[in-house]
Amino acid sequence: MKRRDFIKTSAGAGLAAGAALSLGGYSQLWASEPTTSKYDMVAVMGGEPDAMFDLGIQELGGMGTYIQKGQKVLIKPNIGWDVIPELAANTNPLLVKRIIEHCFKAGAKEVYVFDHTCDNWVNCYKNSGIEKAAKSAGAKVVPANSESYYHQIEIPGGIKLQKAKVHQLLLETDVFINVPVLKNHNSTRMTCCLKNNMGIVWDRGYWHSNNLNQCIADYALYEKKPALNVIDCYNVMVKHGPQGVSKEDVVQMKSQILTTDWVAGDAAAARMLGVEINTVEYIPMAHKMGLGNMNLDALNIKRIKM
């Protein structure tokens, strides 16, 4: 049943995409009806961040697959650093904007964007270009700079992390879309889907001092999981991460990975970065805890080159 579905829908989608491409633009994709296509992962290469997302989400059946009319959506990009978009320390603002537009098109009542930043939050929101991009698409850009925005939650089964304080909007929204940017990380080797959660919680210091890798894996146990992960690999910081020093740290990979499985997403991202998956310790940890599948060979991946 699944295989049959897959063949049907992929053929259909392929035709649609091909037709759209031959018509000389992706706007048709944007306008076309959602299908019921289900891959474990869609990887897109060769386009601009917004166009790649249009294509990728189409393969997954459109944003309507994940959002029902009237729902509140949280989009959590990485806005951690006071750095311009070209240096790729933060998620690409164009991508964030496009995702928000898709959310509203799918009938979202409200879309929220925040990150618990590392640098001064006002500067991060502004200089990343994300605040402007998100607001222009109609989203609410919400502060996350004070502990009073955070609420205590329990993480049953966590080995090192049993409690955390998460931003109230994670609790108040219906759908959570994780939009990390792929980057090198000085200590964990890579930051992507799972590590992006560190911008949802208040007390990161606790993670750092209590087995960072285990805490990252433990947090993924928490019940509020992302409906979708959109990994920004357009500009990828391949060294000096997660903040970067200059443009020499960035390689333009013009890629994007969409997946519902964030462990798989991180595994694919590690490959993009040229890092051995097992050296990014939280990936095998999360895999063993049953939080996702890091064996990419076992997954149904749709690869698209634009």
Partner 1 sequence: MRSHALRTIRIIFSTILFICFFLVFVDFRYIIPAKYINILLYLQFIPSAIKFYGLETLAAGGFLFIIALTVLTGRTYCSFLCPLGIGQDLFSRIGGRFKKKFRRYGYKKPYTIMRYALLAITLIFTMIWGLYMITLLDPYSIFGRFMTFFAKPVIILINNFLAGILGRFDIYTLNKITVKGFPLGVYSIPAAFFILVGVLSFTKGRLYCNAVCPVGTLFGLISKISILRIKFDEEACTRCGRCAVRCKSSCIDFLKPDVDVTRCVDCFNCINICQDNAISYGLVSFKKKVHETDENKRKIIIGSILLLFGLSRTSSAQEKTAPKPKKDSTVKENKTSPVCPPGGVSITAFNKDCTACALCINACPNRVLEPAFKQYGLVGMMQPVMNYHKSFCTYNCTVCTEICPTNALHPLVLEAKKLTQLGKAKFIKDNCIVKTEKTACGACSEACPTKAAHMIPYEGNLVIPEVTEDICIGCGHCEFACPTVPYKAIFVDGNPVHMAAKKPENEQSDIKKPVEFPF
Residue found by looking up tokens 């964990």 in the block: 188
Residue 288's contacts (CB-CB under 8 Å, 6 or more residues apart) are none
Give the C-alpha separation, 57 to 53, whole Å.
6
Instruction: Note whether 9 binds partner 1 by CB under 8 A.
Output: no
> Cβ distance 71 to 174 under 8 Å?
yes
Is residue 271 part of the contact set for partner 1 (CB under 8 A)? yes
**Per-residue CA distances from 171 to 73, 135, 149, 194, 216 (Å):** 11, 22, 11, 18, 19
Does the footprint of partner 1 cover residue 110 (CB under 8 A)? yes
Pairing verdict, β 163-167 and 150-154: antiparallel
Q: Does 300 bind partner 1 (CB under 8 A)?
A: no
Which residues ranging from 118 to 147 are in contact with partner 1 (CB under 8 A)?
118-120, 122-123, 127, 140-143, 145-147
DSSP-assigned letters across all residues of 114-145:
----SS-HHHHHHHTSHHHHHHHTTPEE----
| Least distance from partner 1 to the Cβ atom of residue 188, Å | 6
- Choose, by CB under 8 A, the member of 37, 117, 173, 213 that binds partner 1: 213
Pick the closer one to partner 1 by CB: 91 or 235: 235
150 with 56: CB under 8 angstroms? no
Is 162 an interacting residue with respect to partner 1 (CB under 8 A)? no
Interacting span for partner 1 (CB under 8 A) from 13-21, 48-56, 97-105, 253-261? 253-261
Site for partner 1, rule CB under 8 A: 43, 45, 82, 110, 118-120, 122-123, 127, 140-143, 145-149, 185-188, 203-206, 208-214, 238-240, 242-243, 245-246, 248-249, 251-255, 267-268, 271-274, 279, 281, 296, 301, 303
